[in-house]
Amino acid sequence: MNAAIPDLTHKVAVVTGATGGMGQAIASDLARAGAHVVTVARDPARADTLRASLGAQSEHRLDVIAGDLSRRADVVTVAEIVLARYDRIDILVNNAGAHFQDHRLSPDGIEMHIALDYLASYGLTTLLEAPLRRGRARVVNVASDTLNDTRQIKLPGQARHPATLDLADIHDLSDLNPPNGFVPFKAYARAKLMTVTAGYALARQLAADGVTINALHPGIVATGIIDDLVPPLLRPLRTLIRHTLLTPAEGARSTTRLATSPDLTGITGRYFIRDTEANTPPISHNAVVQERLLALSRDHFAN
């Protein structure tokens, strides 16, 4: 267990992407600190590893809900189940995400990075708004600093290439990340930028009831996503590269700190790189863009 986590007895924590990698470490740490942890798993059998890692003393604190968070209907169903079972949520960690090496569409016709890396977190945060407000919850969106620089190979002297988000001619979220000119790394970064951008606006909306919403880049963690993000020229060196990266347990620490540390009480609408507050592209702070993104996202879940 991460010793820095305070006692979470009687707290309810919802953690997505908790069946492997960093998400499993986050869920394990929260459960061992006393929280009742609710996870969402596309394949509930994969949660058996998480349950076993908790041991007999903590496994009763785990509630696994089946759902594919890239599907709008499943996001809604998962939220309905959580609402039926829990009156209050104290922590929501939106950790689910993936990088896709080719252009794929969700069953709803949304490019998969947008569907899973953005809409899952937006959907759960807004659909669970009532119990989050009652719990004066901390919401943590696990992002990626690719949103600040979409270069896969960073050479000295080159300027950063931040992710872009132009919604001027976008009438539906299915218009984003189209197949024409599709670049997987940039599509992934754009989805993470969307998560941060919407998070800033939602943080303002929920602040009056004590809900905080922050995002972070937990560091470069040795997970399956990192294997996909390694440029083709460097893939023969993936094993060596992984040895230089943070372990999932190390990556989890900054996330659980943001979700639980008394030192961060009341802090909202911020972005962190591990434990240090950082900036995001100017477009993410543009109120017009934020409101347009929220409108498009509401329309997606209203259909």
Task: Tell me the C-alpha distance between 155 and 163, whole Å.
Answer: 18
Phi and psi at residue 166, in whole multiples of 5°? -105, 110
pLDDT of 237:
47
CB-side neighbour CA atoms (13 Å) of 62: 30
pLDDT of 243:
46
Query: Is 147 within 8 Å of 138 (Cβ atoms)?
Result: no
pLDDT of 278:
98
pLDDT of 225:
54
Local confidence pLDDT in tens for the 303 residues of the chain: 565 899 999 999 999 999 878 999 999 999 999 999 999 998 888 888 888 888 777 778 899 999 999 999 999 999 999 999 999 999 999 999 999 999 999 999 999 999 999 999 999 999 999 999 999 999 999 999 999 999 877 777 788 899 999 999 999 999 999 999 999 999 999 999 999 999 999 999 999 999 999 999 998 765 555 555 555 555 554 454 444 477 888 889 999 999 999 999 999 999 999 999 999 999 999 999 999 999 999 999 998
pLDDT of 56:
74
pLDDT of 190:
98
Q: Letter for the amino acid at 16?
A: T
CB-side neighbour CA atoms (13 Å) of 55: 4
Question: What secondary structure, in 3-state letters, does the chain show?
Answer: CCCCCCCCCCCEEEEECCCCHHHHHHHHHHHHCCCEEEEEECCHHHHHHHHHHHCCCCHHHEEEEECCCCCHHHHHHHHHHHHHHCCCCCEEEECCCCCCCCCCECCCCCEHHHHHHHHHHHHHHHHCHHHHHHCCCEEEEECCHHHCCCCCCCCCCCCCCCCCCCCCCCCCHHHCCCCCCCCHHHHHHHHHHHHHHHHHHHHHHHHHHCCEEEEEECCCECCHHHHHHCCHHHHHHHHHHHHCCECHHHHHHHHHHHHHCHHHCCCCCCEEECCEEECCCHHHHCHHHHHHHHHHHHHHHHC
Q: Say if strands 212-217 and 138-142 run parallel, antiparallel, or are unpaired.
A: parallel
pLDDT of 281:
98
pLDDT of 201:
98
Q: From the CB of residue 265, how many other CB atoms can be counted at a distance below 10 Å? A: 11
